[in-house]
Structure formats: C-alpha cells, structure tokens
Chains A and B, each alone.
Chain A
C-alpha cells in the first residue's frame, strides 16, 4: 500500500509542474487577449475570436494529439511534457480570455468615465482601474477553470507522461487491484481542495 502511494505520488510532481506552468502562462495570455477583445481594433477582435472559437470548440485531447503527433509531420517535434504544456496553455488561455472579457464588460461605465476625467490613458485605465476589478469579479469562474485544470492534467497520460493517473493505472494493471484508483482519486481530491481553499481565501481577501 505504501509503495503504491509512493509511486502514485511520484506522478504528482509532473501534475504540479504542468499545472503551474499552465496557470503561469495562460492567465497573462488570457488577460492580454481579453484586453485585445475589449479594444477598438476589429482585426484584433476577430483574430482573438477565431482563436477562442478553435480552442474552446474542439476537444483538449484532440489539441494534445495535434501538438504531440501532428506537429512532427510539419517538422516540429516537441517532448511530451513540452507538447502537453503548450497545448494546455493555448487551451486554457482561450477560456481565461473569455472569462476575463466577461468580467471587463461587466464593469460599470462610470468607472471608465471617472478614470477618463481624472486623466487616465487607455492602458492606465485598464491596468489600474478595470482589470483589478474584473479579476476580482472573475475569480469564481477562474476558480472553476483552475479545478478543471487539475483534472484535465490526467489527459496527458495518453501521450505517455507518468502523471498521477498513468502511474495508478500501471499498478492496477500489474497487481489486479482497484486500490490505486481510490488512492488516485484521493490525491486529485486533495489537489482540488487546495485550489478551492486558495481561491475562497483570495475571494474573501479581495472582495469589493
């Protein structure tokens, strides 16, 4: 049992690494795309709309296969973890963009007007006034995405990355017991709980 747990927990490192890198890059990318969508440029808006349409409208697993198995056909070969990280960042930034765009559009017009009469420029208004508020109002939706990301990391097992689920399945196959699956579920629940608690704390701290 202890050996099982140790082997499963070895996969946590990969999961956490994939999770952290995705969160680290997909949030800023989502923010910039959301700002682009809220800008006056119709070309930029159309580009971002197409991007989010593709990445939100097709399965994450298909995107992962495309990046890992498809790109080598075009001469771009990526390692499994790099391919997985790239896919997750591209996919989650599309979702984060839409969440934040909704948050930005929900900000009262009076906030823009106050910023304007105080002399703020466009970017100053967005970064000092609008984004801090829309980030706060978007936190519950971002929290859902953060939890979904924990679970989605299990998808990378299909391209041979030894994360929590793959390690559990290996033990199940080897030892004919479902205990690893139960342990695996407990690990995912623990990780999700950490995310939930962290976001609840943040929501309380930054409530407007």
Chain B
C-alpha cells in the first residue's frame, strides 16, 4: 500500500529524517514511537506533502507520490494525496464553520458533491463518532475530545485509503483521551491503512500490527507490537518506555 525508500529530510542544516525505509500493507496499522524530536511527526508530514522531502521516494499502491529521481506529475500527486487523510494534534477545525459544515464544505468545494448528499454523509459520520447532537455547534462550543472526534469524521469523509494520526491525543485532557482512542480503535473494521504517532503506549500496544521505534531521525527498531514492547527487545526502547513509566 505504502512504500518509503531512502527518505531524507533536513531543516536548514539539521537532518531530521535519515534513510527511512519501510513498507505498509493494505489495512495495516503501523505506529511510530520514540522521544520528542525523533522525526515521527515530520515523517507523517512528509508523507502527506506538508513538508517537502530532500531525497528518496514514496509510493502509494505502486504509484510514485514523490521521487527525487524522477518527476511526478501534479495530477498524479493530487490523485494519490486525495486518498490520504491526516488527523492533527491541534484538530485544525475551521472555527467559522459549524461541525456539520466542517465536514460538508470540503466535500462540496473539493469533491463537487451535492450538498444534500454531503450532509447525509456528514450526518452518518457524526453518528459514528457519537456527535450527532453537535452538528450545528461551532468548534468553540466543543471540548477538546469532541473537536478531535469531528476532525476524525472530517478526515473519514474523504473515504481515505490511508489515514495518518499525528499525536491525536497530545493536546487533550486525560479524561478526553479515552473517547478519542475509542473512536480510532473503532476504525479498525474499516480496513483503512493507519499510521499513528502517539505517546499513548497502552493504546499503541493494543491497536498496532507493527511498531517502529524512532530516534534521531532514524528507525532504530521495528517489529510486531508484542516484540517491541517486550522487556528485553532493545535497551534503548526499554529506557524510553521506562521514562514513560510503561
């Protein structure tokens, strides 16, 4: 589904991603853990074109999304990106739109879907994230957890094949974390390929098919959830997990 080869990314002289290589299968749930500044979020941002990569390639279902060796057509890139979505740490809902319009307006504006059809789809998605009663509320009237659930519904509206989660619970109060994690867990049945960056280790352990441990811009270790979270898997991972009291 997703293939990353020899990906490098720097900000000025600071190399934040170094020789990143991995594959993700269709429907697989892959998580990235590691200390802050290890490049996890930058990696997700590179995958969805929010950061430009320096070199390497990203392939989605065999098609080039980025390739430093050859030029990728704008149309091809746009088409591949339309199959991907991201849920941000800070929600990034549109504050001047109601919850319903946050989902409907992109569908009507970008995908040219008839408003009534888009509203029906949005209502179904809000039901899925248990926020039907908030359809006409504005983001300022919602709790952090509710905002993130709307953001998830908005991402799902595009019917993505690949969904990225960039620390979806980091900006939330502890009591709201669970409601968001429950929603993400419920997406497992949708057969969406998910790439998750999070510090919620219990959640990562439970939901992930594979876990990558990143440090200093590199993938230091990868493996099944059970293997990575084993006490003797890797000294550096054990230190990191100990710091999190996990």
Chain A interface residues (CB < 8 Å from chain B): 108, 110-111, 113-114, 116-120, 124, 128-129, 132-133, 136, 206, 208
With both beta carbons as reference points, the residue of chain A lying nearest to B45 in the complex is identified as A113
Give the residues in chain B near A119, CB-CB below 8 Å: 78, 81-82, 106, 110-111, 158
A-B pairs, top 6 by smallest CB distance, nearest first, are A114-B92, A119-B110, A110-B92, A118-B106, A208-B95, A132-B96
Establish whether residues B92 and A128, one from each chain, have CB atoms under 8 Å apart when the complex forms.
no
- Expressed in whole angstroms, the Cα–Cα distance for A136 and B158 within the complex equals 28
Q: Which of B49, B96, B154 lies in contact with A133, CB distance below 8 A? A: B96
Q: Does B88 contact A (CB under 8 A)?
A: yes
- Expressed in whole angstroms, the Cα–Cα distance for A113 and B164 within the complex equals 14
- Expressed in whole angstroms, the Cα–Cα distance for A97 and B144 within the complex equals 35
Q: Mark B91-110, 1 if CB is under 8 A from A, else 0.
A: 01111100000000110011
Majority secondary structure of chain B interface residues (helix, strand, loop or mixed): loop
Chain B interface residues (CB < 8 Å from chain A): 48-50, 78, 81-82, 84-86, 88, 90, 92-96, 105-106, 109-111, 138, 140, 154, 158
B100 to chain A, nearest CB (A): 15
B122 to chain A, nearest CB (A): 13
A106 to chain B, nearest CB (A): 13
Establish whether residues A133 and B95, one from each chain, have CB atoms under 8 Å apart when the complex forms.
yes
Establish whether residues A117 and B86, one from each chain, have CB atoms under 8 Å apart when the complex forms.
yes
With both beta carbons as reference points, the residue of chain B lying nearest to A109 in the complex is identified as B92
Establish whether residues A113 and B82, one from each chain, have CB atoms under 8 Å apart when the complex forms.
no
- Expressed in whole angstroms, the Cα–Cα distance for A113 and B85 within the complex equals 11
Give the residues in chain B near A132, CB-CB below 8 Å: 96
Give the residues in chain B near A114, CB-CB below 8 Å: 88, 92-94
Establish whether residues A128 and B109, one from each chain, have CB atoms under 8 Å apart when the complex forms.
yes
Give the residues in chain A near B138, CB-CB below 8 Å: 208
